């Protein structure tokens, strides 16, 4: 049947109670993106940014994986070929559902990064501005999150997977943010079949051959049953 690559966004964690970004009451309605999700915002007001991610870390720890995360973990366990989840999410709900083959392309709330020496270590639940780096000892810790203008992680690996997959699926992402929004075009160009799961068509929805509309906790388990029944 071949390799399956699944791109996930904030919509897959919405039914676990974590807010999305671009909904009317989403995170970008409550915070200016320039203030909390850019390196320039961090340089201007590190406390504002660190507090924003401390609050998100606490919300993520209090949330539980839902039937959508669990369906993708089940797919990885029982599909005879490779299944890769590439998530834009910084929460840890995929790993807590049991997904192992996972790329956090926009970083993770669980990580801290030194912006002076690039050392990485597990973030404490509550970070403070000016926390010391355990390697270079300077007060240059930041959340290990990919902000606007920064290069997302593991891009070469992701493009290799897009070039060699049979199916590319996208779940709960609006198609506003690149390079992730460009993955469907790349996967199609390389010959993959493409399928989108969302409440409504995303900005790049026209590029998908198949679109399943509805909450991911319903549409994903049904699709995983369908895929696994074809391989049984
Ligand atoms: C459900 C659901 C349910 C709800 N079931 N579905 C001009 C043109 C093109 C590009 C650029 C440009 N100017 C600048 C750029 C680049 C820029 C960019 O894309 N800007 C755009 C705004 C135009 N991108 C970057 O800077 C990136 N870096 C980069 O490009 O480096 C250079 C490079 C060059 C060459 C190759 C590769 C790279 C970095 C982007 C970093 C994004 N960071 C953020 C914040 C940090 C993480 C965090 O704090 O959590 O990442 S922004 C934010 O958006 C977050 C998300 O991961 C990301 C995507 O959001 P997502 O997941 O799509 O959420 P929403 O809210 O938008 O959508 C939710 C969806 O779920 C909706 O569709 C709902 O319908 C759906 N839904 N409930 C199913 N129950």
Task: Output the pTM of the full model.
Answer: 0.97
CA–centroid distance, 180 to ligand 1, in Å, is: 7
Average pLDDT, integer, range 21-44: 96
What is the C-alpha separation between 62 and 57, in angstroms, rounded? 9
Average pLDDT, integer, range 181-189: 98
Mutate to test the pocket of ligand 1, among 88, 200, 201 (most ligand atoms within 8 A of CB): 88
The tens digit of pLDDT for each residue in 43-91 reads 999 999 999 999 999 999 999 999 999 999 999 999 999 999 999 999 9
The residue extents of the domains of the chain are 1-17+65-106+153-232, 19-62+109-145
Token code pair at residue 120: 């990485």
Q: Are 35 and 48 in contact (CB under 8 A)?
A: yes
CA–centroid distance, 175 to ligand 1, in Å, is: 7
Of ligand 1's atoms, which has the minimum distance to the CA of residue 26? 66
For every residue of the chain, which 3-state class applies, written as one string?
CCCEEEEECCHHHHCCCCCCCCCCCCHHHHCCHHHHCCHHHHHHCHHHHHHHHHHHHHHHHHCCCCHHHHHHHHHHHHCCCCEEEEECCCCCHHHHHCCCCEEECCEEEEEEEECCCCCEEECCCCCCCCCCCCCCCCCCEEEEECCCCCCCCCHHHHHHHHHCCCEEEEECCCCCCCCHHHHHHHHHHCCCEEEEEECCCCCCHHHCCEEEECCHHHHHHHHHHHHHHHHC
At residue 204, φ and ψ (nearest 5 deg) are -110, 20
The tens digit of pLDDT for each residue in 129-184 reads 999 999 999 999 999 999 999 999 999 999 999 999 999 999 999 999 999 999 99
Query: Which protein residue has the closest C-alpha to ligand 1 atom 44?
Result: 147
Residue-level pLDDT at 231 = 83
Residue-level pLDDT at 67 = 98
Confidence band for 1, pLDDT divided at 50, 70 and 90: confident
For 168, what's the count of Cα atoms within 13 Å in the CB-facing half-sphere?
A: 29
Report whether pLDDT(217) > 80: yes
Average pLDDT, integer, range 21-36: 95
Q: Which residues line ligand 1 (CB under 6 A)?
A: 9-11, 14-15, 20-22, 26, 37, 88, 90, 106, 145-152, 155, 172-174, 176-179, 197-200, 202, 215-216
- Do strands 193-198 and 167-171 pair parallel, antiparallel, or not at all (unpaired)? parallel
Report whether pLDDT(232) > 80: no
Concerning whether 69 is annotated as a catalytic residue, the answer is no
Q: Give the mean pLDDT of the chain.
A: 97
Q: Which of 69, 106, 115, 119 does the annotation list as catalytic?
A: 106
Residue among 163, 156, 171 nearest 208 (CA): 171
At residue 71, φ and ψ (nearest 5 deg) are -65, -40
* Domain 1-17+65-106+153-232 of CATH type 3.50.50.60: no
* 133 Cβ contact partners less than 8 Å away, ≥ 6 residues apart: 114, 116, 117, 119, 139, 140, 141
* Domain 19-62+109-145 of CATH type 3.30.1600.10: yes
Domains 1-17+65-106+153-232 and 19-62+109-145 share a fold: no
């Amino acid at each position: 049947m071949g390799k399956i690559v699944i791109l996930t966004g904030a919509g897959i964690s919405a039914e676990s109670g974590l807010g999305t970004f671009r909904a009317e009451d989403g995170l970008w309605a409550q915070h200016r993106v320039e203030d909390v999700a850019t390196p320039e915002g961090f340089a201007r007001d590190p406390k504002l940014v660190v507090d924003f991610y401390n609050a998100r870390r606490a919300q993520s720890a209090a949330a539980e994986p839902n039937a959508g995360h669990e369906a993708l973990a089940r797919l990885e366990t029982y599909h005879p070929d490779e299944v890769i989840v590439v998530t834009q999410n910084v929460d840890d709900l995929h790993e807590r559902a049991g997904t192992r083959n996972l790329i956090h392309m926009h970083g993770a709330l669980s990580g801290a990064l030194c912006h002076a020496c690039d050392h990485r270590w597990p973030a404490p639940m509550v970070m403070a501005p000016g926390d010391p780096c355990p390697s270079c000892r300077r007060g240059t810790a930041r959340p290990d999150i990919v902000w606007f203008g920064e290069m997302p992680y593991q891009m070469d690996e992701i493009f290799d997977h897009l070039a060699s997959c049979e199916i590319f699926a996208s779940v709960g992402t609006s198609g506003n943010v690149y390079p992730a929004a460009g993955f469907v075009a790349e996967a199609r160009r390389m010959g993959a079949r493409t399928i989108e799961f969302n409440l409504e068509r995303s900005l790049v929805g026209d590029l998908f051959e198949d679109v399943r509309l509805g909450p991911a906790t319903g549409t994903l388990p049904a699709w995983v049953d369908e895929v696994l029944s074809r391989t049984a």
